[in-house]
Chains A and B, each alone.
Chain A
Amino acid sequence: MSETSSEGSDGDRWVFYKDRPDWKDVTPVKQEEGPFPVVSIAYNAKFKDVYDYMRAVLKSNEISERAFHLTKDALELNPANYTVWQYRRLLLKDLNKDLREEFQYVSQLIDEYPKNYQIWHHRMVMVEWMDDPSMELDFLKEALYNDPKNYHAWKHRQWVIKKFNLFENELEYTESLIGDDLRNNSAWNQRYFVVLHTGKLSEPDQIRKEISFALKAILKTTLNESAWNYMRGLLIHTEKGVLEAEVVEFCEKLYASGNKSPHLLGMLIDMAVEGDDPKLDERALQICRELANRYDHVRAKYWNYMETIVKEKIAATKVADQKATNANEAASDVKNN
């Protein structure tokens, strides 16, 4: 790396800040290192130069056009520098900058660094300041097309949808993503977010519709945990939980067909624990052992633990039955006397 100049990204000759006449009045602030430097990064000359001046500006709190340009150079070298982003926001406000332009800028950067916390946060603040979400859903569609599981993009999407009430077409959107890849758990999570916030989880009919949606997906890929988890999530909001008739019937049928998906078997165990059929309890014990020894060996210790839960339930049922019998006997004693 040349010590005096290098090529800029736009092909122009890059001039170091220390060689710029319009920065002559500023004394650069070095990130000096002591006699025994640690985690010492081999910054190139451009990085050092830009950040020497960035630190000087931060120190003097300079509010100026040139400081604003400097933040751009600094962020190009390291878009994860939250201090520079924060200072840039201060400048945006104090210099009354055009936020539309800032939007273009941040969009480009997200394309380049889609997994950077700071850039996404900056975009969120811009949407807030402009009070304008009109570009967001299309922009996010693009970002999620490139990476359908991008956590930052989903966070931004949930935030903007909730803040500006943009739920209208979101259920269809999740459906199309699940259609593309029914193992895309982010899309399932988003679907849950939508049904939760649009009040669907308090309407039994709507829940039933969603359960059918999940069951269809499960039939296609019985090993797909995303669909099973989604269904479990819906059942939290039903009266009978895992004992919901439609689901019990579905699971029994699938089990009878010889399916050994650990997610199905796990459901059968939970159904036994919640239910009151001693025969199913016995079957659940058997299933726990099969999962531990064969169908889901990696989780053997977990299934052994579930076996103890089933056993506890069986024991508790026996105690309760005994108590009920005793009470009945006592009651008939009273009557007879």
Chain B
Amino acid sequence: MDQDGETVGMFCDREHNDNEGEPTASSYAQEEVEQHVESIFKSYDYLSGLDTEPGFPLLRREQHKQFLLKSLMYLPESFSKLDASQPWMLYWILHSLALLDVRLEDKMKDGVIKHLQKCHNTQTGGYGGGPFQYGHLAPTYAALNSYVLVGTPEIWSTIDKVSMTDFLFKLRVGDGSFLVHEGGESDIRAVYCAVVVAKILNIQAPDLFEGSIEWIVRCQTYEGGFGGDPGQEAHGGYSFCAVAALYLLQGLHMCDLKALLRWTVNRQMKYEGGFQGRTNKLVDSCYSFWQGATVVLAQMGLHSSSPQEAKTKEWMFDEKLLQEYVLLCCQDPYGGIIDKPKVHKDPYHTCYGLSGLSIAQGSDESRIVGDAVKNKVKQVHPAFNLPVDKLSDAMAFFYGSKSS
């Protein structure tokens, strides 16, 4: 925030949606969200005008930590519907805690590792959504990320690379795409998860991803973003999967990067400051990461530079507006990040809201919104969405101890 006290009405220069006298269902929904956001901005304008909150707006670090630690141990009954996503919940919570630089007690880490081991399915290969569930690429990805977040070389050495390689090959479809599980659906999430698993574990199998770059490129739509399958509408989550997988497969140059960049930067909302997932849809905090990271990866592709070199460049979205959306509109007072005002918090949006904050802060340190020390979260790798320090430890292990 500006420190010279010109904070009163600091949001009043934001422009509302203009329906040009042609209101439709989409514009009504948009205007409703803007109203909710506006009332929040107004209350903050009032508060900041009173100058009662130094370092405004503040990341509610302690509240998020409490919410996350509680969720790590215990989840209410409504989470039964996520019974087949247990490794996901571990990853969302552990990653969020890591971003907040919370260190876990050893017994907690041990509990996590034991639980992950129970989710491993020796029959199908891979990790399931819970104990006794079939191996599935999404929980496998989440489990592996969780291992990176809490593991040690000793733990990492127990991961069976050979069976993981078989598992990936079993799910490979001839055209370079992947199934999420045997008999399951196929879409770009599956390819991304497979690529990340192979990349982290240093699985060297040249034909595993034969045709994958071409298949992913077929998912780029006329809008510039990517859909879940060839033909499907461009969508932030799938775009991220596509672009991150292309980056990891060194195939970014194969897609239309300019169209991708144009589509992605256009997903940032001029009033709310956050990103929407698709053209003419509503803002949602999880896209802070999906779209924010895609802008970073697209820029890296355009400048064909490494993350470190590109680091010196600013990201081509408004990092201040994005941080303001997450910090002002999406923090639950009792901890946790919400999708948008009037919606409940959950570990998923907490993870991707904070990850998006990290991406935004990584653009230009001088533009960290609020107190630069208190609000700073750890830096994530834009393609893996893991903290760079933990990722490099794990990569050093899997690449260094390679004997084959």
User: Is A86 at the interface (CB under 8 A from chain B)?
Assistant: yes
In which size bucket is the chain A interface? 35 or more
Closest Cβ neighbor of A87 among chain B residues: B134
Q: How far is the CA of A151 from the CA of B237 in the complex (A)?
A: 12
B170 nearest CB across to chain A (Å)? 14
Q: How far is the CA of A38 from the CA of B261 in the complex (A)?
A: 40
Q: Is the CB of B132 within 8 A of A37?
A: no
Q: How far is the CA of A86 from the CA of B263 in the complex (A)?
A: 37
Q: Is the CB of B184 within 8 A of A86?
A: yes
Residues of B within 8 A of A51 (CB): 83
User: Is A199 at the interface (CB under 8 A from chain B)?
Assistant: no
A284 nearest CB across to chain B (Å)? 15
Q: Is the CB of A80 within 8 A of B228?
A: no
Residues of B within 8 A of A110 (CB): none
User: Is A326 at the interface (CB under 8 A from chain B)?
Assistant: no
Residues of A within 8 A of B314 (CB): 301
User: Is A233 at the interface (CB under 8 A from chain B)?
Assistant: yes
Q: A37-B115, A302-B262 known; 8 other A-B pairs, CB under 8 Å?
A: A41-B75, A78-B80, A82-B134, A83-B133, A181-B25, A192-B221, A297-B270, A298-B268
Residues of A within 8 A of B262 (CB): 266, 302
Q: Is the CB of B80 within 8 A of A86?
A: no
Partner-binding segment picked from A132-140, A167-175, A218-226, A315-323:
A218-226
A27 nearest CB across to chain B (Å)? 14
Closest Cβ neighbor of A304 among chain B residues: B316
Closest Cβ neighbor of A46 among chain B residues: B80
Q: Is the CB of A223 within 8 A of B86?
A: no
Q: Is the CB of A81 within 8 A of B280?
A: no
A42 nearest CB across to chain B (Å)? 5
Closest Cβ neighbor of B302 among chain A residues: A305
Q: How far is the CA of A9 from the CA of B185 in the complex (A)?
A: 30
Mark A224-236 against chain B: 1 for CB-CB distance below 8 A, else 0: 1110011011101
B340 nearest CB across to chain A (Å)? 16
In which size bucket is the chain B interface? 35 or more
User: Is B317 at the interface (CB under 8 A from chain A)?
Assistant: yes
Partner-binding segment picked from A10-18, A98-106, A183-191, A247-255:
A183-191
Q: Would you mind naming 7 contact pairs between A and B with Cβ atoms under 8 Å apart?
A: A38-B72, A39-B71, A83-B128, A121-B185, A125-B183, A154-B232, A220-B22
Residues of A within 8 A of B63 (CB): none
Q: Is the CB of A155 within 8 A of B228?
A: yes
User: Is A31 at the interface (CB under 8 A from chain B)?
Assistant: yes
Residues of B within 8 A of A77 (CB): 80
Kindly identify which residue among A37, A121, A192 contacts B184, using a CB–CB cutoff of 8 Å: A121
User: Is B235 at the interface (CB under 8 A from chain A)?
Assistant: yes
Q: How far is the CA of A258 from the CA of B74 in the complex (A)?
A: 59
Kindly identify which residue among A80, A185, A192, A299 contacts B280, using a CB–CB cutoff of 8 Å: A185
Residues of B within 8 A of A220 (CB): 20, 22
B231 nearest CB across to chain A (Å)? 5
Mark B237-268 against chain A: 1 for CB-CB distance below 8 A, else 0: 00000000000000000000000011101101
Q: Is the CB of B81 within 8 A of A80?
A: yes
A82-B279 contact given A31-B132, A42-B76, A298-B321, CB 8 Å threshold: no
Mark B216-229 against chain A: 1 for CB-CB distance below 8 A, else 0: 00000111100111
Q: How far is the CA of A226 from the CA of B24 in the complex (A)?
A: 13
Q: Is the CB of A38 within 8 A of B111?
A: yes
Main secondary structure of the interface of B (DSSP, over half): loop
User: 8 Å CB contacts to A: which residues of B155-173?
Assistant: none
Residues of B within 8 A of A181 (CB): 24-26
Kindly identify which residue among B76, B181, B316 contacts A86, using a CB–CB cutoff of 8 Å: B181
Q: How far is the CA of A51 from the CA of B261 in the complex (A)?
A: 46
User: Is B73 at the interface (CB under 8 A from chain A)?
Assistant: yes
Q: How far is the CA of A61 from the CA of B77 in the complex (A)?
A: 29
Q: Is the CB of A183 within 8 A of B131?
A: no
User: Is B182 at the interface (CB under 8 A from chain A)?
Assistant: yes
Binding site for A on B (CB under 8 A): 18-20, 22, 24-27, 71-77, 79-86, 89-90, 93, 107-108, 110-112, 114-115, 128-134, 136, 180-185, 187, 221-224, 227-229, 231-235, 261-263, 265-266, 268-270, 273, 278-281, 314-318, 321
User: 8 Å CB contacts to B: which residues of A287-320?
Assistant: 296-302, 305
Q: Is the CB of B232 within 8 A of A185?
A: no
User: Is A182 at the interface (CB under 8 A from chain B)?
Assistant: yes
Q: Is the CB of A184 within 8 A of B280?
A: yes
Q: How far is the CA of A220 from the CA of B262 in the complex (A)?
A: 23
Q: Is the CB of B71 within 8 A of A86?
A: no
Q: How far is the CA of A296 from the CA of B187 in the complex (A)?
A: 34
User: Is A55 at the interface (CB under 8 A from chain B)?
Assistant: yes
A229-B223 contact given A86-B182, A117-B185, A154-B233, CB 8 Å threshold: yes
User: 8 Å CB contacts to B: which residues of A188-214?
Assistant: 189, 192-193, 196
Q: Is the CB of A182 within 8 A of B22?
A: yes
Closest Cβ neighbor of B92 among chain A residues: A39
Q: Is the CB of A230 within 8 A of B222?
A: yes
Q: Is the CB of B82 within 8 A of A80?
A: yes
Q: Is the CB of A221 within 8 A of B317?
A: no
A95 nearest CB across to chain B (Å)? 17
Residues of B within 8 A of A55 (CB): 131-132
Question: Nearest 3 pairs between A and B by C-beta?
Answer: A233-B222, A36-B111, A183-B26
Q: How far is the CA of A59 from the CA of B221 in the complex (A)?
A: 43
User: Is A34 at the interface (CB under 8 A from chain B)?
Assistant: yes
Q: Is the CB of A299 within 8 A of B265?
A: yes
Q: How far is the CA of A188 from the CA of B114 in the complex (A)?
A: 48
Residues of B within 8 A of A83 (CB): 84, 128-129, 132-134
B119 nearest CB across to chain A (Å)? 10
Closest Cβ neighbor of B279 among chain A residues: A185
User: 8 Å CB contacts to B: which residues of A16-32?
Assistant: 29, 31
Residues of B within 8 A of A302 (CB): 261-262, 265, 316-317
Q: Is the CB of A233 within 8 A of B232?
A: no
A179 nearest CB across to chain B (Å)? 10
Closest Cβ neighbor of A48 among chain B residues: B80
Residues of A within 8 A of B24 (CB): 180-184
Kindly identify which residue among A79, A81, A158 contacts B232, using a CB–CB cutoff of 8 Å: A158
Most chain B beta-carbon neighbours within 10 Å: one of A149, A162, A180 = A149
Q: How far is the CA of A119 from the CA of B85 in the complex (A)?
A: 16
User: Is A337 at the interface (CB under 8 A from chain B)?
Assistant: no
